[in-house]
A and B are shown apart, each in its own frame.
Chain A
Amino acid sequence: MSKTKKAGRAMGSVLLAILSIIYASPIFIILMNSFKKKTYINLEPFVFPTAKTWAGLENYQTGFDKYNFLSGVSTSVIITIGSVVAILLFCSMFAWYITRVHTRFTKFMYLLCVFSMVVPFQMVMFTLSKTADTLKLNTPFTIPIVYLGFGAGLAVFMFCGFIKGVPIEVEEAAMIDGCSPPRTFFSVVLPIMQPTYISVGILQTMWIWNDFLLPYLVLDQKRYRTIPMIIQMMKGSYGRVDMGAIMACLILAVIPVIVFYLFSQKYIIEGVAAGAVKG
């Protein structure tokens, strides 16, 4: 490699490094402010905490005590795990059936799933929350049914895309050997689909964990609040806004996501790329 080319590449790396620092800085600004006393946050948000403005963990304490942040975490975890498991299991079964059985019904179901992917949530927002209310689906343990229904479109579509590429001979061989259809699905098809389960699981987790409006409208707000709901209500509710507690809760909301991302980065990035190619 020539000298000028080498220098050019080094310059490129340096430029990207500067850009990365700028890119990551908003998170650090919030982190910095989460350790300041609340009255100083709006006054000088870009200054490091000094001895005078330092608040220690006080803001985090307020977040836990006054705003019940931990109960938000458990609500969000229950909803996300329940919904993602339900979506992965039932949508893959549904997708296998409608891909392998050719009737007018299965064709219609497939088209309906594709159609539901483009419908914005606002279209069904009001009627969905009323339906969920009537059926008493307003707890973290029952809201996965709503997520399964509204999220089925994308999941079924992605599973169908994968199943179409699986050679049918393997399944036929299993059935000739005496496997019932459920057994064929669970011990032959399901293991082959592992990469698709990961992709769909990641896309759905990203959506459900961060979703604000659906749980806001469906959940019984007096008893259950997800993390985004807690943050929105800290700011939106009347009375004095505690900037310190907000900073602390923003950090508490972001940290688990970043840790999870750093550990499963490879799958997340592959999942996004796979979802996009099929979408």
Chain B
Amino acid sequence: MEKAIKRYFPLFIIPTLAAFLIGFIIPFIMGVWLSFCEFTTVQDATFVGFKNYLLAFADETFVHALGFTALFAVVSLVLINVLAFMLAMALTKKLAGTNIFRTIFFMPNLIGGIVLGYIWQLIFNGILSQFDLALNLNAKFGFWGTVILVCWQQIGYMMIIYIAGLQTIPTDVMEAANIDGASGRQRLFRVTLPMMMPSITICTFLSITNGFKLFDQNLSLTGGEPAHATEMLALNIFNTFYSRVGFEGVGQAKAVLFFLLVVGIGLLQLRLTRSKEVQQ
């Protein structure tokens, strides 16, 4: 059978492979190479070694964005997952109206980041203007504004994954815990949470990588104001490329560092939570 399929290599493989080359493989390899070059267009690149990387770290806005993004990712990770888990618990108790609630909580997830940013910009500025303040005056407002926005957007998504996880816990395990006289708290920490580790792994992985990769919401809500103080890594890279002539190489070096960071954090997070998963 394998032999017969192999003859159809062009039909099955070529279309996706060609697009994959154009849309990922070639840009990725070129990206790594260009991070060691000085260039304004792809044709005039000259090799400069690690200069771009040194310049990237010498850029204060980049270092600031790194810290800001890391703090944001951790805060949003904790808030999103704790709240989504609580909602999932509440929505699996067969309360009246569960389906409607689930529909509403998931809905913001389908709205795009740019649209979300402008929706919340109006609301935050509407509240802040009562006190003669505005979103683009203080980095603290920008930080918490983005946290609220991202929570509003992603809690529903994580909630769905947690609900799916809660529904796979066999009822006999819970019954056994009940018969053994486990309290509500013991049932949560000794039964539910360990059984939920696969869902927790997925959700924390998604929310921490989403947090680091956030772009649209950052661009539309604050645009990095005031003075790059709320600029996150992805936006910082974008601005390095497209609003500073001659810094394309530095932008690409930042992009490589960003890629390594996202992969590293993703792997680290998977190892941390996977090790806590239990056999069912």
Chain A positions within 8 Å of B, measured between CB atoms, are: 9-10, 12-13, 16-17, 19-20, 23-24, 26-27, 29-30, 33, 41-42, 45-46, 86, 90-91, 93-94, 96-98, 100-102, 109, 112, 116, 118-128, 130-132, 135, 137, 145-153, 156, 168, 171-172, 175, 180-182, 185, 206, 209-213, 227-228, 231-232, 235-236, 243, 246-247, 250, 253-254, 257-258, 261-262, 265, 268-269, 272-273, 276-277, 279
CA–CA, A210 to B234, complex, Å? 17
Chain B positions within 8 Å of A, measured between CB atoms, are: 1-2, 4-9, 11-13, 15-17, 19-28, 30-31, 34, 41-42, 90-91, 93, 95-97, 100-115, 118-120, 122-123, 125-126, 129, 152, 157, 160-161, 163-164, 199, 202-203, 206, 209, 212-213, 215-216, 219-220, 223, 233-234, 237-238, 241, 248, 251-252, 255-256, 258-259, 262-263, 266
- Chain B residues whose CB sits within 8 angstroms of the CB of A181 once the complex forms: 4-5, 7-8, 12
Q: Check B96 against A123 for contact (C-beta < 8 Å).
A: no
Q: Check B95 against A125 for contact (C-beta < 8 Å).
A: no
Q: Check B5 against A101 for contact (C-beta < 8 Å).
A: yes
Q: Given A26-B120, A276-B206, A153–B115 Cβ distance below 8 Å?
A: no
Q: Check B90 against A16 for contact (C-beta < 8 Å).
A: yes
CA–CA, A259 to B213, complex, Å? 29
Q: Check B266 against A118 for contact (C-beta < 8 Å).
A: yes
**Smallest Cβ-Cβ distance to A97: which chain B residue:** B12
Q: Given A149-B19, A273-B164, A228–B4 Cβ distance below 8 Å?
A: no
CA–CA, A120 to B214, complex, Å? 10
- Chain A residues whose CB sits within 8 angstroms of the CB of B263 once the complex forms: 118-119
Q: Check A42 against B129 for contact (C-beta < 8 Å).
A: yes
**Smallest Cβ-Cβ distance to B129: which chain A residue:** A42
Q: Check B259 against A269 for contact (C-beta < 8 Å).
A: no
**Smallest Cβ-Cβ distance to A16: which chain B residue:** B101
Q: Given A123-B255, A123-B256, A272-B157, A90–B19 Cβ distance below 8 Å?
A: yes
Q: Check B255 against A126 for contact (C-beta < 8 Å).
A: yes
**Smallest Cβ-Cβ distance to A235: which chain B residue:** B118
Q: Check B112 against A210 for contact (C-beta < 8 Å).
A: yes
Q: Given A149-B24, A152-B23, A232–B107 Cβ distance below 8 Å?
A: no
Q: Check A272 against B23 for contact (C-beta < 8 Å).
A: no
Beyond contacts A137-B22, A149-B19, A227-B112: 19 other A-B pairs, Cβ-Cβ < 8 A, are A16-B101, A24-B107, A26-B119, A45-B126, A94-B12, A98-B13, A127-B27, A127-B42, A148-B15, A172-B1, A181-B4, A182-B8, A210-B113, A210-B216, A212-B113, A232-B219, A253-B112, A258-B110, A261-B107
- Chain B residues whose CB sits within 8 angstroms of the CB of A10 once the complex forms: 96
From A20, A109, A123, B258 is in contact (CB under 8 Å) with A123
- Chain A residues whose CB sits within 8 angstroms of the CB of B5 once the complex forms: 97, 100-101, 181
CA–CA, A265 to B237, complex, Å? 36
- Chain B residues whose CB sits within 8 angstroms of the CB of A116 once the complex forms: 20, 24, 28
CA–CA, A125 to B193, complex, Å? 39
- Chain A residues whose CB sits within 8 angstroms of the CB of B96 once the complex forms: 9-10, 13
Q: Check B107 against A153 for contact (C-beta < 8 Å).
A: no
Jot down 22 A-B pairs with beta carbons below 8 A, ordered by A.
A42-B126, A90-B16, A93-B15, A96-B12, A101-B6, A122-B238, A125-B238, A126-B31, A126-B34, A131-B26, A145-B22, A146-B19, A153-B24, A181-B7, A206-B109, A210-B111, A210-B115, A211-B112, A228-B216, A257-B110, A261-B110, A262-B103
- Chain A residues whose CB sits within 8 angstroms of the CB of B223 once the complex forms: 236
Quote the shortest CB–CB distance from B205 to chain A (angstroms). 8
Q: Check A128 against B27 for contact (C-beta < 8 Å).
A: yes
**Smallest Cβ-Cβ distance to B237: which chain A residue:** A122
Q: Given A20-B100, A210-B112, A277–B202 Cβ distance below 8 Å?
A: yes
